[in-house]
Structure 1
Amino acid sequence: MKIEKGLRSWLAAALVLLGTVLLVGAGCSAAQVAERPADPAALDMAARNFHKNMRWARWEEASQQVHEAAREGFLGRYEELGDDYRVVELALRKVEFSEDGFEATLEVEQEWYELPDTTVRQERFVERWVSEKGVWWMRERITREAFRAREREERDAPGTADPTRDEAPSLDERTPEASPSDEGLPTEPQE
């Protein structure tokens, strides 16, 4: 009887320990899944879909890859450009991931024209993509020149160690070369 009671106590303690280990293990693995960034291959697919839709002027479809905080501005920008704006080619030139893997910066070369002028222009854009809940979203798209100017400003600003953007990012920043007369109708794409 004493052996049976001791065995039962030992078995109960072992089950409690096993249950605790399983619960903690399940909680940790769930936390790891929730905190894991999306697969880089998924970024490649999302960026390809976005660029393909941009190439064929399917702005609504392209906006499905744009983060909800920036989607309205993105669509408004292409409504403003109208049917005269045409993307000829988009080519991915560079991809850099953040240390934690939740952000990626893409450099894209874009060729475009705006009717009635059929001169094809070429410009480099920097796109910032973020991974949220395993899905990649394009959060910001600006010219490389505007991106570099902002980096210089942030680097040179006194007292800024690690600047962050709390507001919804602009998809419509003008290049430094834009003249005041170009205010109403930009001469180059400003996503």
Structure 2
Amino acid sequence: MSNVSPSQRPYNALKRAFGWVVFVCVGLLFCGCPPAETIKKQEVIAPKSQLYKRARLFNGLLRWKAYQRAKPYVSTKHRASFMLKWEGQRGKMRITGYSIRDVTFEGEGKRAVVLVSQQRYTLPSVTVKSVLLQQLWESKQGLWFYKGEKKKTPTKVSPTPSKTTSSSKTAPPKTRTAKP
């Protein structure tokens, strides 16, 4: 027989049950959490898959002059200069197309350079120029933010020739004559 009085038996049973619940919860806590290295890798890898989508959406908003809607894609440090630059060019520069050419990750995957080809013209000229830009992006809190851009080399895109061209602008075709 045990030395426990009948009034203490329910208390001891409750105490044992509580001990088992705590033991199971602690066991699940340790079994359910991945190692710290896995969590760190997920933080770096997950944003990489989002960068292409965010860069595409951001450049699409620039194309349609939706600068206020593009503003959340810009890092808070660079938003003021971004708005000054693009709002100042609102009536002058027109982006007619763009394509994302390449994405290069740097600094353990927390920074990236997105190579963008933009087709644009600046009024009053209507000559479309293809400009290659290096957009700088940075990962913060699981999202990618635009930091700025560097222009590479502009190249002139030839307009499609029309059927009637003026003879003063084009040279006559060279013809060869056979010698007898």
TM-score bracket, shorter-length normalisation: 0.5 to 0.7
Determine which structure has more spread, i.e. the larger CA radius of gyration. 2
Identity within the alignment, %: 23
Q: Which amino acid aligns with 2:142?
A: G
**1:109 Cα shift?**
0.9
Report the secondary structure of 2:79's partner residue. Answer: helix
Match of 2:110 in 1: 102
**1:49 Cα shift?**
0.6
Which runs of structure 2 are paired with 1:1-191 in the superposition (5 Å)? Answer: 19=26, 22=29, 26=33, 29=36, 32=39, 36-37=43-44, 38-98=46-106, 100-144=108-152
For residues 23 and 30 of structure 1, the distance between their equivalents in structure 2, rounded to whole angstroms, comes to 15
Write out per-residue CA displacement over residues 114-135 of structure 1, whole angstroms, 9 at most, x where no aligned residue. Answer: 1121111111110111111111
Q: In terms of mean alpha carbon deviation, does 30-39 or 86-95 score higher?
A: 30-39
Q: Is the 8 A contact 2:65 2:90 kept in 1?
A: no
For residues 96 and 53 of structure 2, the distance between their equivalents in structure 1, rounded to whole angstroms, comes to 20
Q: In terms of mean alpha carbon deviation, does 113-122 or 20-29 score higher?
A: 20-29
For residues 33 and 120 of structure 1, the distance between their equivalents in structure 2, rounded to whole angstroms, comes to 45
**1:72 Cα shift?**
0.9
Q: Is the 8 A contact 1:96 1:105 kept in 2?
A: yes
Report the secondary structure of 2:65's partner residue. Answer: coil
For residues 91 and 65 of structure 1, the distance between their equivalents in structure 2, rounded to whole angstroms, comes to 18
For residues 143 and 19 of structure 1, the distance between their equivalents in structure 2, rounded to whole angstroms, comes to 56
Q: Which amino acid aligns with 2:48?
A: P
Q: Which amino acid aligns with 1:122?
A: S
For residues 128 and 27 of structure 1, the distance between their equivalents in structure 2, rounded to whole angstroms, comes to 32
For residues 84 and 107 of structure 2, the distance between their equivalents in structure 1, rounded to whole angstroms, comes to 33
Superposed CA RMSD in Å reads 3.6
Unpaired segments ≥5 residues, structure 1: 2-11, 146-174, 176-191
Unpaired segments ≥5 residues, structure 2: 3-18, 155-180
